[in-house]
Amino acid sequence: MSDIKVLGICGSLRKGSFNRMALHVALGLAPAGMKIDVADISAFQPYNEDVRQEGFPPAVQTFRDQITAADALLFVTPEYNYSVSGVLKNAIDWASRPPNQPFDGKPVAIMGASGGVLGTARAQYQLRQICVFLNMFPVNKPEVMIPQAQNRFDAEGNLTDETAKGLIKQLLESLQAWTLVLKRGRAP
């Protein structure tokens, strides 16, 4: 069987982002049979319906094509004011517009890292709500919430918290299993 293709989407643009570090840790923990590519949402302008009417900007079109081609998505979200970052919401808003809403039916895994003690719990539950509207199917468990991220990554971006690392590995394994279940369910 061919590899499951996963598109990783990070909701923080800053160079030293703990969420980007977490996504890179995930790349190294992907199980056999899973390949994770990373989306680039850094050039997206704020959503504007007038612009969309003229056609998706090239960076958005690329993102939409990558989502369509992916078997599953891995969202790595920061928490901004108890929600997902504007950058992530903006990218989802752009990609979600018709025709052919590309998120429809996608298996999804969610994880995140924050400076606070709840490790993006509130943002993740808001992201799950967005998944309902766009008909994505998130893995329920394990929940990967990395609190006080400033204490859990070293200067090279390695995750020093073995428990969190184990949870990321489990999350990817669950995503793989869930993706195969959904694929089988859709087989003719």
Q: Given the complex with ligand FMN, which of 14 and 35 has the nearer CB atom?
A: 14
Distance from C-alpha of 11 to C-alpha of 112, rounded to nearest angstrom: 9
Phi, psi (deg, nearest 5) at residue 138: -75, 145
DSSP 42-74: TTPPPP-HHHHHH---HHHHHHHHHHHH-SEEE
Position among 31, 65, 69, 82 found at the interface with ligand FMN (CB under 6 A): 82
Distance CA 67, CA 61 (A): 10
Indicate the residue among 11 and 138 with the shorter CB distance to ligand FMN: 11
Among 47, 56, 80, 137, binds ligand FMN (CB under 6 A): 80
- What would the x/- binding string for ligand FMN be over residues 1 to 20, using CB under 6 A? -----------x-x--xxx-
Q: Per the omega criterion (within 30 degrees of 0), is the bond before 99 cis?
A: yes
Q: Is 77 in the site for ligand FMN (CB under 6 A)?
A: no
Using CB under 6 A, pick the residue from 4, 71, 110, 114 that binds ligand FMN.
114
Distance of CA 183 to the CA centre of its chain: 19
Work out how close the CB of 151 gets to ligand FMN at its nearest, in angstroms, rounded to a whole number.
11
Which residue lies nearer to ligand FMN by CB, 81 or 163?
Answer: 81
